[in-house]
Structure 1
């Protein structure tokens, strides 16, 4: 009677004899080092290699689809706007007349004060609001638009588009509304309107509803007094161009790889941000 051949040892635990093996690489492995697979069982090394070989699912903007779950950036932006409104209301001891606070006075976009070196105003203005109704309208729009834009663009690109829109609105005010005091997130939100229209075009869906909303809001901007039309238009233009730079410019320039497409997209947004800052600086120099 022939003796049975000795059992092979696990490739990770040489002191453990085993009659099992990985159906992918064929190496002997103990039960602790094996994982169930659709066909047979794979060792932990093959499972790890298989996970590394799977390309992550990405959106049309190149953002990981895993970031589509919760729009954290949108919620954080809303929280910051609400918190700053609370500070201005507390300082002025009034919810409806919160624009009498020192923070509001220091951050409201007054072009002559920017020319005096108070550059915080070109960003701070996007987080101030004239009363609770102004805040509520803008935060509702940010909630609706921000979630969808953030899901498609990804968190970092969404922040970049929002920043470009805010600065675009400030640049337009610095040049075309130099005798006004402008405040509100409207410029950045108009940028998100433009971003959503571009996203729908990229997804080959009709942007008609968004374009109608943009037209209605621009009509309101023209009709109502004390509304910053130029801030809205500047934000709309910047947000539209920034998102087009991310979603369409890589195709137009025939980017040869996903990495090249991401580089082109980021370069387009960076160029818009720098361009807005240059325009703001030129307007400030002219005023001074």
Structure 2
């Protein structure tokens, strides 16, 4: 009688015959469990174990590399959703736009701010503790039938964010990029509060100017061809001048300055274990400065 042949089965699927073994653990695996390796095949467990031992790629500033600019997509989505909300309920603009100081009258209308006001009027804006306006205004845009640009306001801003944001997010990593965007938006609103507190403003332009500043700083840091980058910055600065007569130049300039400060800290912090702490420290210091400026201005207005 001939000896009975031994049958080998997959260690994960005992009922499936298998004649291929994992090159790392040498356990038999079926076609469903085979994972391509540099040499032969590996089982799912060995693949996961190997992935844990591989260091994730980092950007030049220390952020995690991600192939999909998810933060940019989310920011664009939030701006578009807010705009659709405005179309359905226009009162959202008055409720959440960036407004430093105004008076709401008995008729519900907004009036020019004065620290002394008659009965029936009450303060409105950051001066009345509505600090959320410093950020919510950066996600709103001019209604389609109002302002100099109408619907072009959000269209131009979102196209700019699409073009710039994807590049800068890939250079910084998601967390650093989000911090840059929010601090730039806040920087723009704070400069509006300091210079033109009674002027209602909306738009993501301040944050986008901050992203534009990051694009320039990172291009220099990475040694890119600066000819095209310099032309872009010249156009951005030209628009800053032109916008002085059309839109809130204070928001643009504040976002540009805040974005530049944050990105310089990102790009030129020394390598090593201290780098994330230095970068975070600069961001927190800028945030603290902006808070102090807001408190001081609100105190002066009141």
TM-score by length of 1: 0.77
Q: Give the superposition deviation at 1:41.
A: 6.8
Distance in 2 (CA, whole Å) between partners of 1:145 and 1:105 is 29
**Equivalent in 245, 256, 262 of residue 272 of structure 2:** 256
Cα distance, 1:35–1:155 mapped onto 2, change above 3 Å: closer
* 1:197 positional shift: 0.7
1:234 corresponds in structure 2 to 254
CA RMSD of aligned residues (A): 3.1
Cα distance in 2 between the residues matched to 1:61 and 1:157: 9
Q: 1:61, CA displacement in angstroms?
A: 2.4
Q: Does residue 278 in structure 1 map to residue 297 in structure 2?
A: no
Separation in 2, partners of 1:103, 1:56 = 43
CA spacing shift, 1:277–1:56, aligned 2, 3 Å: same
In 2 relative to 1, CA 281–52 (structure 1 residues): closer, same or farther, beyond 3 Å?
A: same
Match of 1:82 in 2: 80
Q: Deviations over 1:203-232 (max 9, x none)?
A: 11123133222222112223x33x111111
Partners of 1:196 and 1:228 in 2: CA distance: 22
> How many Å separate the matches in 1 of 2:99 and 2:26?
74
- C-alpha distance in structure 2 between counterparts of 1:274 and 1:84, whole Å: 28
Assess, with a 3 A threshold, how the Cα gap between structure 1 residues 122 and 45 changes in structure 2: closer, same or farther. closer
Provide the aligned length of Structure 1 versus Structure 2. 261
Structure 2 residue 94 is the aligned partner of structure 1 residue 102 = no
Deviations 1:41-72 (A, max 9, x none): 7787765554333222221122222x223x22
Q: Does residue 1:111 correspond to 2:127, yes or no?
A: no
Using the TM superposition, give the Cα deviation of residue 36 of structure 1 relative to its aligned residue in structure 2, in angstroms. 6.6
Question: Secondary structure at 2:151's aligned position in 1?
Answer: helix
Query: Could you tell me which of 206, 210, 214 is aligned with 2:236?
Result: 214
User: CA 1:41 to 1:218, structure 2 compared with 1: closer, same or farther past 3 Å?
Assistant: closer
Summarize the Cα distance change of 1:29–1:104 in structure 2 as closer, same or farther, 3 Å threshold.
closer
Give the direction of change, closer, same or farther, for the CA distance of 1:234–1:31 in structure 2 (3 Å limit).
Answer: closer
Q: Distance in 1 between matches of 2:40 and 2:180?
A: 48
Q: CA distance change for structure 1 residues 37 and 231 in 2, over 3 Å: closer, same or farther?
A: closer
Pairing 1:57-206 to 2, within 5 Å after superposition = 57-65=57-65, 67-69=66-68, 71-91=69-89, 101-112=90-101, 113-130=125-142, 131-205=150-224, 206=226
What TM-score does the superposition give when structure 2 sets the normalisation length?
0.74
Tell me the distance in 2 between the aligned counterparts of 1:110 and 1:20. 69
Q: Who is 1:246 aligned against? A: 266
CA gap 1:177/1:46 in 2 versus in 1, 3 angstroms: same
Over 3 Å counting, the alpha-carbon distance change for 1:31 and 1:90 in structure 2 is closer
CA contact (8 A) 2:21 2:29 kept: no
Deviations 1:261-288 (A, max 9, x none): 2222222222222322221122111111
Q: Give the Å deviation of 1:165.
A: 0.2
Hey, what's the Cα distance between the residues in 2 that align with 1:241 and 1:122? Answer: 19
